[in-house]
Structure 1
Amino acid sequence: MTDVIEFPALKEAQDKLDAKNKELFAVLDEAGPSYDMKLVKSIAGDTAAKVAWIQAKNAEIDEVGKEVEGYRQVAKAAGRRNAAGKEKGSEPDERKAGRRDDRDEQVQAKSFGEQFVASNAFKGKHGSIGPEATLDLELKTLMQTSAGWLPETNRTGRVVDFATRPIQVLDFIPTTTTAQAAVVYMEETTFTNNAAETAEAGTYPESALALTEVSSPVRKVSTFIPITDEQLEDVDQARGYVDNRLRFMLRQRMDLQVLVGNGTAPNLRGINNIAGIQTQAKGADPTPDAFYKAMVKVRVTGRAVPDLHVMHPNDWMDIRLLRTADGVYIWGNPSEAGPERLWGLPVAQSDAQTEGTGLTGDTSFLELSMRRGIVVQVSNSHGTYFIEGKQAVRADVRAAFIVYRPTAWSTVTGI
């Protein structure tokens, strides 16, 4: 977890956001579950005037929310810089031993396609026989391509991607690296503060602290695809193919795992299944109210600052289409795009998230720790591929996912 450096501008913006959220929540609470603007007495005017006030206040919240996000990114960057400076002065011998040399860095700078066509697996191929080659890549860029290629004749070169779930949450999660098979850290499980005013020569009250070691194992996500020798001969097309889709497949699966992985080996344990996460039931509340109450739980019980909502697109649709009792849209007219934000926080719409259950929390208490990036191996030794003129291209990535403080996140159920 990266430390967040606190500074006055961030606190001032966060306080402003909290104040505006409370104003809006109070008005929506007055209107009740049916959003009957006639019940709102704190704002003068008819329904249109009151909805206009709500929309204006929501726009203010969005602007301040973006300002807070910007300050938090600066603070996180400062925290990473400080942490890097500390590590530089006291780097463990094991890490020094495992550090990659300049040649490794030069290899990483190339794309997978460039590495592949320059590898022994491609250059050393004689007929349908070729050696294996291992290519190590970092997991970062979203890629898209199609399922296979023939030599191009009069094609445009455009590929229409298969309709599949995009990467929707992974990019919100801080990413680090690890050289171990598990991420081990210490969790403060006892904090008893008996500090009190003490008279002269009086006995000091005793407090207590206790730490517990916690381990999050590295898991592997993998896949492979068969490619014929003929396709590999079309170098440009093969490069685009393997550059894009294999990476996307692995990232798409990890995007799902960090949300709903059940933790049973070899699965990662996703946020929804972390023990100790808080829960806010919607009950008779409007959905926005339930999310606001979950944010308060994250603040009060989790002692964290929520910065992200996650929900299924169908659940966000219900919020976007909310109307007052006399039919006025609250989140903006249908002619407007409307913000994908709620209470000043961005909304990640993910159809990997279980419909009817949302999430609210502080991403600074999440971490995706990469044991290594994508490793790809190419061989024709799989099954009968040698006599069929095929190559098996397999790819995998190893990572651990950690939720450092479960109470910094809350589910919102029944939405």
Structure 2
Amino acid sequence: MDPNIKSVLDSIKGSVEAYGPKIAAIQTQLDAQDRNFASKIFGDSTPPAFVEKLKSHEGFQRLLNDRRGKAVLTLTGKDASDFLSRKTTITETGQGFQTTGVLAIDRDTGITAEARQTLTVRDALTSRPTSFAVVDFVKVTTPMGIASPVPEASVKPENAVVFTSESEKVRTIATWIPASRQILDDFTELASFLQTSLAYYVNLEEELQLLAGDDTGENLHGLIPQASAFQTGLLSLTAGFNRIDIIGRAIEQLTTAKEIPPTFVVMHPADWWSIRLTKDSFGRYLIGDPQATANARLFDLLVIPTTSIPVGVFLVGSGNPAACEIRDRMELQFEVSTEHASYFTSNLCACRAEKRMVLITKRPGSFVTGTFITSPVS
């Protein structure tokens, strides 16, 4: 081919190829204009989502609010195929309530503790602090004799008294529980729960010791082991008696012994309710109207119902410091520490509650204990 002709043809071909992209861009603009024009005339061809249909359906919204009745929905096209193709029923159990589920839960804060009794024995006694590990007290073992009339210018009779000292050692009541640093950090209510729970069980043991400690080892010297035994001879089988009579006779026993007047009586709740429900021959309650809101009292003594004393046992005594008192060496303390074994390297903590105290019973004769099951004289 002639080189001149070939050069002309190549020039024409290059010009045509140069207009190709421009033609394609013009066609794209025309297609977009066609779509916009069709949308304005015929509307959007994309149907609303199925969820949007439910939200806008009056019958369905009424069904959700009233929780009754029915709603008719017409499903067409893709909505019908998607809805009818589901074979698993949507339930709360299937979706899950916990952290791995999709449903939120309403959870109360704090921890519900187990059943716990009210501790009231300490409140009936006098308490004051001490700075020492041992508490001594002096008491009369042989009292003086009574005086006598003396004639004028006569020698007066000599008297005498014998003293003795006794001592009680301060005792420690404590308990502890291990816990990880992570659980204390992540479970924010746990630290407060442990503090109140450990303190409660320390105070519960204190109440048990105040009543029945046998003075062996590190046990306190409790009131019941030191109290005088109830004199069953004060009861009469012929005259008859009940629980109320027994408490009255115990008060009589203390009074005739010239001891400090009692201020309280401790008994099991079952025994107190047996007394509280005692009726006369006309069906009337002896201990007052059940609707009365006064504090529990019997012969003007404060009644302390507590499960820290066995059923059928009672203790009548005085909270006067001349009879007995509590001496506190260290008030209740709650501590958290990693200084135990390998706790520091193991990210563990020791949570401990403890107190140091002692019970000083100066007048054991000012307390009387016995049972409601007695063997009186005929």
Matching residue of 2:328: 370
Matching residue of 1:266: 218
The alpha-carbon distance between structure 1 residues 250 and 363, as it changes in their structure 2 partners (threshold 3 A), is same
State the shift of 1:216 in Å: 1.1
Q: How far apart, in 2, do the equivalents of 1:361 and 1:260 lie?
A: 14
Matching residue of 1:252: 204
Amino acid at match of 1:329: Y
State the shift of 1:232 in Å: 2.7
Instruction: Tell whether the 8 Å contact from 1:311 to 1:350 is kept in structure 2 after alignment.
Output: yes
Instruction: Tell whether the 8 Å contact from 2:129 to 2:329 is kept in structure 1 after alignment.
Output: yes
Residue 396 of structure 1 is aligned with which of 350, 354, 357? 354
Which one is further off, 216-225 or 325-334?
Answer: 325-334
Amino acid at match of 1:402: I
Instruction: Tell whether the 8 Å contact from 2:136 to 2:165 is kept in structure 1 after alignment.
Output: yes
Residue 318 of structure 1 is aligned with which of 274, 277, 284? 274
Describe the SS at the equivalent of 1:246. Answer: helix
Q: How far apart, in 2, do the equivalents of 1:246 and 1:272 lie?
A: 26
State the shift of 1:177 in Å: 1.1
Describe the SS at the equivalent of 2:253. Answer: helix
Matching residue of 1:175: 127
State the shift of 1:250 in Å: 1.0
The alpha-carbon distance between structure 1 residues 154 and 229, as it changes in their structure 2 partners (threshold 3 A), is farther
Matching residue of 1:295: 251
Answering whether residue 230 of structure 2 is matched by residue 279 of structure 1, we say yes
Amino acid at match of 1:216: E
What count of residue pairs does the alignment treat as equivalent?
262
Q: Which runs of 5+ in 1 are unaligned?
A: 1-152
The alpha-carbon distance between structure 1 residues 317 and 338, as it changes in their structure 2 partners (threshold 3 A), is farther
Instruction: Tell whether the 8 Å contact from 1:331 to 1:338 is kept in structure 2 after alignment.
Output: no
Report matched runs for 1:351-390 at 5 Å.
351-364=307-320, 365-390=323-348
Instruction: Provide, for residues 308-350 of structure 1, a one-character-per-residue CA deviation record: whole Å limited to 9, x for no partner.
Output: 1110001111101112235333224555567521112210001
Residue 112 of structure 2 is aligned with which of 144, 160, 163? 160
Instruction: Tell whether the 8 Å contact from 1:177 to 1:370 is kept in structure 2 after alignment.
Output: yes
Instruction: Tell whether the 8 Å contact from 1:299 to 1:408 is kept in structure 2 after alignment.
Output: no
The alpha-carbon distance between structure 1 residues 178 and 204, as it changes in their structure 2 partners (threshold 3 A), is same
Describe the SS at the equivalent of 1:220. Answer: strand
Answering whether residue 174 of structure 2 is matched by residue 222 of structure 1, we say yes
TM-score by length of 2: 0.64
TM-score by length of 1: 0.58
The alpha-carbon distance between structure 1 residues 303 and 252, as it changes in their structure 2 partners (threshold 3 A), is same
Which one is further off, 154-163 or 233-242?
Answer: 233-242
Q: How far apart, in 1, do the equivalents of 2:156 and 2:290 lie?
A: 64
Instruction: Tell whether the 8 Å contact from 1:312 to 1:352 is kept in structure 2 after alignment.
Output: yes
Q: How far apart, in 2, do the equivalents of 1:371 and 1:262 lie?
A: 20
Q: How far apart, in 2, do the equivalents of 1:384 and 1:320 lie?
A: 56
Instruction: Tell whether the 8 Å contact from 1:278 to 1:407 is kept in structure 2 after alignment.
Output: no
Instruction: Tell whether the 8 Å contact from 1:374 to 1:396 is kept in structure 2 after alignment.
Output: yes
The alpha-carbon distance between structure 1 residues 347 and 194, as it changes in their structure 2 partners (threshold 3 A), is closer
Percent identity between matched residues is 28
Q: How far apart, in 2, do the equivalents of 1:158 and 1:408 lie?
A: 45
State the shift of 1:242 in Å: 4.4
* CA RMSD after TM alignment: 2.4
Higher-RCO chain (CA-CA 8 Å, sequence separation at least 6)? 1
Matching residue of 1:406: 364
Q: Which runs of 5+ in 2 are unaligned?
A: 1-104, 374-378
The alpha-carbon distance between structure 1 residues 231 and 328, as it changes in their structure 2 partners (threshold 3 A), is same
The alpha-carbon distance between structure 1 residues 241 and 310, as it changes in their structure 2 partners (threshold 3 A), is same
